[in-house]
């Protein structure tokens, strides 16, 4: 009774959360870029392989 947990004693806790945040960020970014590239390639196939529709005048 009257004892509290000791805070900030486990360094592995920090390493776990830093790794989790970095890995999660790269995973989310990779999914987002993958969807963009996939849609770009799909539109390219619909245009017959031509890149003219993506060029500005």
Q: Each residue of 12-49: pLDDT tens digit? A: 999 999 999 999 999 999 999 999 999 988 988 887 76
**pLDDT at residue number 23:** 97
Residue 51 CB: number of other CB atoms within 10 A?
A: 9
How far, in Å, CA of 40 to CA of 45, rounded?
9
Look up the pTM and report it: 0.62
Determine if residue 42 is left, alpha or beta; phi over 0 gives left, psi from -120 to 50 gives alpha, anything else beta.
Answer: alpha
How far, in Å, CA of 57 to CA of 44, rounded?
18
Statement: residue 11 has pLDDT above 80: yes
């Amino acid at each position: 009774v009257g004892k509290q947990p000791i805070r900030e004693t486990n360094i592995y806790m920090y390493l776990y959360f830093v790794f989790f945040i970095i890995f999660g960020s790269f995973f989310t970014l990779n999914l987002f870029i993958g969807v963009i590239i996939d849609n770009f390639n799909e539109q390219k196939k619909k245009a017959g392989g031509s890149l003219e529709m993506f060029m500005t005048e």
